[in-house]
Amino acid sequence: MNINQLKYFVAVADYRSFSKAAEQYFLTQTAVTQQIRKLEETVGAQLIDRKTRPISVTPMGQVFLKEVRRILMQMDTAVQRTREASTGITGTLRIGYTNGYEHSDLTVKLRRFHQNFPNILITCHRCNTDILAAELVSGEYDIIFTWDSTNVCNDESVEYRLQERVRLVVAMYASHPLAHSTGLTRADLKNEINLFMSPSSTGDSLADEYFIRLYQKAGYYPNILLRSSDVESILMMVSAEEGISVLPVSCIRRLSEVDNLVFVPLVGEDEVEEILAVWRKDNQSPSLRHFLQMLE
């Protein structure tokens, strides 16, 4: 038994024809017929019923066919991975992402990348934006997904790409008087206790200043009870009815349990947050280059 015999058998089973299988492999019908007979002798069972028109696979052949398809697929995978290793498509991809972005579709992208490049180890780390920016510049990460609250994109050593523009929502407890609204503005939140979602640990980042200006544009300064970059803790406090919070919809997309929480869209042209993919210009990692191509 050899690999060619297995391939010929699959072709005969698929086409239900010796002649068409022979055409696929640029062989004579006689050659394919002989190889299938040798395969049947080796297996010790009749695989093809030649009395039917068109020919068909016998019950024993169906069992064998299922296993042969699996074997051929495994062989293709082995060849592909060996070729990837020989061309240098191995290594690691170190990814950092801002708090809350784990609920985005980043996991879908990572899964697709892993399926295409199984020899590349993907490591993921969640941090606030300050640490992400600093450790990207120092070489700790290959790429980060972040709000640019630290002006890292003005650093000449990095390149960046807009990953997505994320709408903002108001997280409220279910019994809140505004919880059934179809949309809210910042002006509607004037009298609310605010659990301020910040991407930074400093509390005075560019992103914080941007959103504070939006409150001031609405005519007031928010009553901030807490500043935090910990999305889960903020949502727990909202659920406990301690206040409301404004946060990107990417932070709540994949929440499986939202006890006593309601999310109302925040309306307005400026009520978005830009998520950026940022990497160092001098990073020549093949893993990073392949990942960037996939993101395109």
- Three-state SS for 190? coil
Q: What is the pLDDT of residue 147?
A: 86
**Residue 56 sits in a domain of what CATH number?**
1.10.10.10
- Three-state SS for 246? strand
Phi, psi (degrees; rounded to nearest 5) at 243: 165, -170
Same domain, 280 and 140: yes
Of 62, 86, 110, which closes a domain?
86
- Three-state SS for 282? coil
State if pTM tops 0.75. no
Same domain, 143 and 290: yes
Give the residue with greater pLDDT, 87 vs 132.
132
Q: What is the pLDDT of residue 203?
A: 64
Same domain, 150 and 283: yes
Same domain, 159 and 288: yes
Residue 275 CA to residue 97 CA, distance in Å, equals: 10
State the DSSP H helix or E strand holding residue 228, giving kind and residue range, or none if neither.
Answer: strand 223-228
Same domain, 194 and 252: yes
Residue 251: pLDDT over 90: no
Residue 263 CA to residue 270 CA, distance in Å, equals: 18
Residues 100-155 have pLDDT tens digits of 888 888 889 999 999 888 888 999 999 888 889 999 999 999 999 998 777 888 88
Which region, left, alpha or beta, applies to residue 28 given φ > 0 means left and ψ of -120 to 50 means alpha?
beta
Same domain, 288 and 142: yes
Number of domains in the chain: 3
**Residue 260 sits in a domain of what CATH number?**
3.40.190.10
Q: What's the whole-number mean pLDDT along residues 74-82?
A: 78
Of 45, 67, 86, which closes a domain?
86
- Which CB contacts under 8 angstroms, 24+ apart, belong to 211-216? 211/246, 214/186, 214/268, 214/270, 214/271, 215/186
Same domain, 109 and 159: yes
Same domain, 14 and 149: no
Q: What is the pLDDT of residue 87?
A: 56
Q: What is the pLDDT of residue 85?
A: 62
State which residues form the domain around 147: 91-163+275-295
Q: How many Cβ atoms sit within 10 Å of the Cβ of residue 128? A: 22
Same domain, 173 and 264: yes
Same domain, 180 and 246: yes
Same domain, 287 and 143: yes
Residues 148-201 have pLDDT tens digits of 777 888 889 999 999 989 999 999 999 999 999 999 999 999 999 999 988 877
Reduced to 3 DSSP states, what percent helix, strand and coil does the chain have, rounded to the nearest 5? 45, 25, 35
What does the chain come to in residues? 296
Same domain, 106 and 247: no
